[in-house]
Structure 1
């Protein structure tokens, strides 16, 4: 069960969809919902402000940042209660959002963020644009990445879970167990398993399906052979079956190889049209 869920609060247009997803899960799991907002200033920058000389931003601007973040948290708490969440908390972090969320993730079961904006959206600072990657790779907990198009659909409903035999995929499936157990159906998907035959055994997916079944998961093994990318195959299957959740391990290969090849994780974080749970 998820008992503590942290959601990123910044007052942006993307916040509504991720808050709705977080509220959906908090209500389903009787969980405590924590809204975490950051001023965007690190302790070093704050020290400069305190010393006045050479400050990167005027002290008055820092006060404005705190007031703005506090206002976003107040609005978050009000909306969360309107969505029926019984236990709500707000936390103001005087640092960059990535560091603050990494810290908060240690004391939570799940972190809820927005999907990476596409190139047509506003240009965000690097530490904000890479939040899902940073939290998935360096955080202690799984990350639920929510697209802007999310509008109160059931999570998970039908779940599509990627399985390639890797440790990353194993951690993602284990982290997603509370959701998979409540899913109406789970499709355990293996894409081109012959290329990783040494990880799958004689019958690809059978052992993992049995493991999940023993945890009360209604699971079906689906083997996909495709010449498209793994990410595209997963998203197509999720769309075709009307899935409400996609589960995938984060960065199964080296970061350099992921960057060169585009990477399953990178493609899903940029394009997945449904909530995506990732873990490393």
Structure 2
């Protein structure tokens, strides 16, 4: 079960949609919801940018703290309105990604927004937290309307370790779902990861946990990410679960093709683990 959920808090237009998703999960699992807001810089970093302590305008830094505090007040008001019984606000004087990375260590799940609905200062958070964070990440699209997440779920299964971790992370949702589709795309290309009957062993694993699961083995010329989105749309899925891939090159994070497609274009919330 999810007992602690962290949601990114700021003043961006997508704040309401990701809070709706986080509140739905918190209510469904009787979880504690932590709103995490950041100033954007620590005081030492602010002083360094100013050139010296004497030149650093303290009122400018205080304004950053006040903005984060105001966002947290809005979070608390909205969380109460959405019926969240247990919640708290945390403000970190640091970059947003580092603040969330810290808070994620002590949570079961982190809730963020797709870049498409974010302000410039928050873009890249899903990619960073998915690949660097210790916990699974739920990425909410700007079009999310508060619908039930756990009614119909599509799980991308390719036999990989990230996919296993994503499935394990999603189990509290999967056991509640009315319909779970275990989706394989061109599984014959990775036959060594699936056994004699692709999908059968994982479906049995899920069934033993009480998950009502059907297997769909899609053969297509489309890219795997597009195929998964098509399956999710056709099944009316409220959630898509998948493993995340990426690697570091020249100190920049490069996402795998499937992960990038899901993060950028999924019309429903996506739960990712690396």
- Measured against the shorter chain, the TM-score band is over 0.9
Q: How does 1:93-112 map to 2 (within 5 A)?
A: 93-112=92-111
Segments of structure 2 that go 5 or more residues without pairing to the other structure are: none
In the alignment, is the contact (CA less than 8 A) between 2:152 and 2:178 conserved in 1? yes
For 1:8-157, list aligned pairs within 5 A: 8-42=8-42, 44-48=44-48, 51-53=52-54, 55=56, 58-117=57-116, 124-125=120-121, 128-157=122-151
Structure 1 runs of 4+ with >3 Å offset:
46-51, 253-256, 259-262
Alpha-carbon deviation of 1:51? 4.9
Task: Answer yes or no: is 1:248 the counterpart of 2:249.
Answer: no
Residue correspondences, number: 271
Question: Structure 1 residue 261: deviation in Å?
Answer: 8.9
- Taking the aligned partners of 1:197 and 1:261, their CA distance within structure 2 comes to 24
Change (3 A) 1:254 1:198: farther
Match of 2:203 among 198, 204, 209: 209
Residue 221 (structure 2) pairs with residue 227 (structure 1): yes
**Cα offset, 1:228, TM superposition:** 1.1
**Structure-2 change in CA distance of 1:277 and 1:64 (3 Å):** same
TM-score, normalization by structure 1: 0.92
CA offsets, 1:102-137, max 9 Å, x none?
Answer: 00001101000001217xx76x14xx3111111111
- The alignment's TM-score, normalised by the length of structure 2, stands at 0.94
Structure 2 residue matching 1:176: 3-state secondary structure: helix
- Label 1:226 to 1:138 Cα distance change in 2 as closer, same or farther (>3 A): same
Q: Structure 1 pair 116/261, CA: closer, same or farther in 2 (3 Å)?
A: closer
**Structure 2 CA distance, aligned partners of 1:261 and 1:140?**
17
- Give the corresponding residue for 2:171: 177
1:182 match: secondary structure: coil
Instruction: Structure 1: give runs of 5+ residues left out of the alignment.
Output: none
- 2: CA distance, partners of 1:8 / 1:101: 7
Q: Give, in angstroms, the shift of residue 43 of structure 1.
A: 5.1
Q: For 1:80 and 1:201, how far apart are their aligned partners in 2?
A: 46
